[in-house]
Each structure stands twice: as C-alpha cells, then as structure tokens.
C-alpha cells in the first residue's frame, strides 16, 4: 500500500512522466506505474442523496493488484461493507476517511481488484456498473456508454503502458 503512494509521489515529482488528461504513467527501471484520476460513475436513484462518485486507479506492473479509490458525497453517512465492480468478485472496502463536509458527508473509500479483472473490464465495450453494499442495502452506480468509451480508452492505454 505504501509503495503505491511512494510510486505516485515519484511520478508526480519526475519530469519523465507520460501524462494525458486522466492518465499518468512512469517507468522506473523494470517497474511501471499507471495512475488514472478524476473519472466518474453516476449514481442510480437512492435515498442517501448520492449523485455520483469520482474514482482514481493506481496500478503497478510489478503487482497483480489494482487499487481503486473513490470519493462519494452523500446526505447521510455512507459506510459500505463491500463493493462489486462489473462482475468482479465482491471486495472488502477500506475506509480511508468518512467525515462531514458542510451539509454533506464525504466518504473516501478504497478497494482492490486483480489486474486480470481490470484488463477484463477494459476489454469490454459494455459500460461497467458498480454496486456498493451497506448491510442489506445496495447503492448502484453506472457510466454512460459515451463516457465509458473515453474512460475505457484511458484504461487500455494504462494497460498498454504496464505491459511494456
């Protein structure tokens, strides 16, 4: 975990990064890091006052794990137990922080998927869905197909960079 953040910091401080609108990659020796930031899923109708979530992804070529970190603003405190992203296995949710911000709550949450799951999602043209579980309650999110086309291209570029 600490290595993800150190790798991101190294990439941000380096002048040898490849940067696109939502993607930053850096190769250092035999390891490549890909960082995708500020992408969005839209919330399905819910009673928690959640409209969307933003996410960032960190992937290292030297690991099989991909970190997905999200930020969700809600009217009520949102503390999910698990999440499923597009048919991947149900993942435990790490609560980075959950705190009030003005009249809203902000939840910064992280979960991990495998590189194989990341590649599988990026390979499909079907816009992914995400379901967050809070006990027996579910909050669902989706991406508009035209938005997924752009995000998918970013995911695929990241995978290509990791495959060097």
For residue 67, tell me if it sits in a domain.
yes
In this prediction the pTM is 0.83
What percent of the chain stands above pLDDT 90? 66
Q: Please, which residues have CB within 8 angstroms of residue 88's CB and are 6 or more apart in sequence?
A: 113, 114, 117, 120, 121
CATH code for position 101: 2.60.40
Instruction: Tell me how far apart the alpha carbons of residues 83 and 39 are, in angstroms, rounded to a whole number.
Output: 17
Q: Is 163 a domain residue? A: no
The answer to whether residue 164 sits within a structural domain is: no
Residue 96 phi/psi, 5-degree rounding, is: -70, -50
DSSP secondary structure letter of residue 135? T
Residue 147 lies in domain: 38-157
pLDDT tens for each residue of 82-115: 999 987 889 999 999 999 999 999 999 999 999 9
| Axis crossing angle, helix 145-162 with helix 115-123, rounded to the nearest 10 | 130
Q: Is residue 3 part of a domain?
A: no
pLDDT of residue 17: 39
In a domain, 30, yes or no: no
Domain count, the chain: 1
C-alpha span between 148 and 138 (Å, rounded): 22
54 is a domain residue? yes
Instruction: Name 31's Cβ contacts closer than 8 Å, sequence gap at least 6.
Output: 7, 60, 61, 62
Beta bridge partner(s), residue 108: 71, 97
Summarize pLDDT for 5-15 with one digit per residue, the tens. Answer: 444 444 443 43
164 residues of the chain, pLDDT tens digit each: 554 444 444 444 343 334 457 888 888 888 888 999 989 999 999 989 999 999 999 998 888 889 999 999 999 999 999 999 987 889 999 999 999 999 999 999 999 999 999 999 999 999 999 999 998 899 999 999 999 998 999 999 999 988 85
Kindly state the tokens that stand for 78: 């949102």
Please check whether residue 95 lies inside any domain of the structure: yes
């Amino acid at each position: 975990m600490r290595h993800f953040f150190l790798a991101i910091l190294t990439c941000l401080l380096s002048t040898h990064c490849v940067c696109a609108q939502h993607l930053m990659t850096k190769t250092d020796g035999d390891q490549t890091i890909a960082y995708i930031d500020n992408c969005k899923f839209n919330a399905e109708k819910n009673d928690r006052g959640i409209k969307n979530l933003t996410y960032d992804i960190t992937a290292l070529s030297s690991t099989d794990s991909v970190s997905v970190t999200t930020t969700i603003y809600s009217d009520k405190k949102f503390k999910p137990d698990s999440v499923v992203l597009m048919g991947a296995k149900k993942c435990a949710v790490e609560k980075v922080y959950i705190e009030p911000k003005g009249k809203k709550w902000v939840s910064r949450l992280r979960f991990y998927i495998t590189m194989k799951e990341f590649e599988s999602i990026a390979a499909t043209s079907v816009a992914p869905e995400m379901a967050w579980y809070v006990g027996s309650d579910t909050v669902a999110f989706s991406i508009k197909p035209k938005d997924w086309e752009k995000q998918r291209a970013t995911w695929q570029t990241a995978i290509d960079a990791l495959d060097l």
